[in-house]
Amino acid sequence: MKKKSIKLLQLLLCISCCTNSYAQSHDHKNNEHWLSDFQAAASSIVLLNNEPAIIPLKDLQQKIASVNINAIDAVAFDSLLNKYTNVTSFAASKYDSDSSLYGLSDDLKFYKTIIVQVTAQGLNDKRTINFILDIKRSKQLVLVVTGKFKFLKYADDIDQPIIWTEKETNVTDGFCAQLIFGGVGAKAKINRSYTSKYIKGTGNATSPIRMAYTVPEETGINIEDIARPIDSLVANAIDEKAIPGAVVLILKDGKVIFNKAFGYHTYDRVEPMLITDIFDLASVTKVSATIMAIMHLYEQKKIALDSTFGYYIPSARNTDKSNIKIRELLLHQSGLQPDVDLPLLPIDVNTDSSAAYPLKAGEKVFIRKEYFTASMWPHMLNSKMDTRGQYVYSDLSMTYMKEVVERQSLEKLDQYVQEHFYGPLGMQTAGFNPLNRFDIKQIVPTENEEIFRKQWLRGYVHDPTAARYGGVSGNAGLFASANDLAMLYQMILNGGTYGDVQYFQPETIHLFTSGQSAVSRRGLGFDRKDTASENAYPSKLASMETYGHTGFTGTSFWVDPDKNVVFIFLSNRVYPKVNDAIYKLHTQGNIMDAVYKAIEKGTGTGR
């Protein structure tokens, strides 16, 4: 995605976050009014010409454009479209000098699907209708029309999907945008006949297939019962210098009911934190990238849990790592050390990139091409192994599994997860080495690292092992926004389905996320609730089925199938130096407890 487009998207989402009541309002009565309007929109907005089931759009990797032709305000509409996938915005008003809109048509030539916002009266405008008819001849057209149904007579020649609403407000704009991507479903029908084509009872029904964006009240929760404690807990963490800022997202019943940014990127309070900001996820990478790939290859029978590491990796066969079972690596019971020292000699690092030094670990820090095979991998394979059968959390386990994934998939880890998960799901920010794709200002900084790279880290992976890999490792290196993580783990919570695509079988997800060890709480890669800890990590009120993972940089996600809820907390607690204050404050667990209490106070399981 071009950096200019990212800036526009960030601005749109920020504006949406600040202006739409479903995003930020802490007023329960306002939210109830909003919900009433939203439900009225659901009962009145009609989807037409959708017999081929174009809506909701399935392919999120195609190029999609949104065109505003004399609609009142496209900001709320376009911002919600961009929560599902990258949608480029165009305003027809900028082409006023061209009476035929040929200039706009030319700018749309590389887009496959065109979403057009237009007024009903505009369908009677020769310039507008010629543009629409021209678009529909060569592209997939989706019309969003605002105006009285009596103007349906102007739409008789259009056979592609039309979403028709008589009112245009932020609420109806938001509903229409979510309807296009399946955050909400269509159910309304025309209540009288207008033409021989659009007769009484006409209207296509659809069902939700992706996340929705709404107010907590839709799930039976009072916004004040979650917003006030979360605001207080995060503010306290910022005041105590545990974190300079954070983003919190709560998903309930497949709906984003809370998503808020707090504080700033740094303590100098220059760059406010935004909900679209991209974080270094650290060890959340282990499950959000490596385990996703492993589950996928497991279903293809390309990885077997009881096969050995040496079976897949020939270079391990003459070492004591050869007979480690894949299952043991995923459970952190292989006997591997938590980490291993990986020395860097002067010959291993250069300040300039070249064919000999292609791996970028930081600003003007490049690792030599042979470093992995000549030094890094031998050190990993020859590390101590003296606790086999015991639970010892190890970063090495997932660096080992990266080699297994790449050998069995014939692809690099970052390419594999992008191709099979992030792209199809609509995850726009998730990926490794984000500076290759995004403006640095959208990426939250981490530590002032003084040992290896000797610089402030921003967009370069914090983890030193992943840095030696050039930013792509099995244990760390993934960056993403909260909304992207929400998509990924809503898919997991759904039993492997999202957007009408089956990514995993439910049995596979249950196997990897359920308890699999007699000596620890762990699943296969996933962390789980620990009842033995003082605060019942991660939360006193979480069910025993809860699973998730934390990241060293101050990130975490937790999924509770019993309550149908996903918690995402992203911060940079390692800025400017590593500190443990956020864990002493138990901020993440207390946020979870507050949400559980709000659920219990409401309906318990939501509506």
pLDDT at 524 over 90: yes
Q: Average pLDDT of 394-423?
A: 98
pLDDT in tens, 441-492: 999 999 999 999 999 999 999 999 999 999 999 999 999 999 999 999 999 9
How far apart are alpha carbons 525 and 522 in whole angstroms? 7
pLDDT in tens, 422-449: 999 999 999 999 999 999 999 999 999 9
Per the CB < 8 A criterion, the answer to whether 115 and 66 are in contact is yes
Q: Which residues contact 590 (CB under 8 A, 6 or more apart)?
A: 229, 233
pLDDT at 221 over 70: yes
How far apart are alpha carbons 547 and 519 in whole angstroms? 17
pLDDT at 607 over 70: no
- Paired sense of beta strands 431-432 and 46-48, if any: unpaired
Q: Average pLDDT of 363-389?
A: 96
Angle at 147 between CA 94 and CA 83, to 5 degrees: 60
* Backbone dihedral region for residue 53 (phi beyond 0: left; psi -120 to 50: alpha; all else: beta): left
- In the chain the first and final C-alpha atoms are separated, in Å, by 38
pLDDT in tens, 332-352: 999 999 999 999 999 999 999
Q: To which H or E segment does residue 560 belong?
A: strand 555-560
Output the pLDDT for position 102: 85
pTM of the predicted model, to two decimals?
0.94
Residue 220, classified by CB atoms within 10 Å of its CB into exposed (0-12), middle (13-18) or buried (19+), is middle
Any idea of the CA torsion for 596, 600, 602, 603, to the nearest 10 degrees? 110
Secondary structure of residue 522 in the 3-state scheme: coil
Output the pLDDT for position 247: 98
Among 402, 282, 395, CA closest to 336: 395
Per the CB < 8 A criterion, the answer to whether 87 and 64 are in contact is yes
Among 288, 266, 285, CA closest to 277: 266
Per the CB < 8 A criterion, the answer to whether 494 and 509 are in contact is no
pLDDT in tens, 273-285: 999 999 999 999 9
User: Which amino acid is present at 592?
Assistant: M
For domain 3-212, say whether CATH 3.40.50.1700 is its number. yes
Secondary structure of residue 392 in the 3-state scheme: coil
pLDDT in tens, 91-150: 988 876 656 788 899 999 999 999 999 999 999 999 899 999 999 999 999 999 999 999
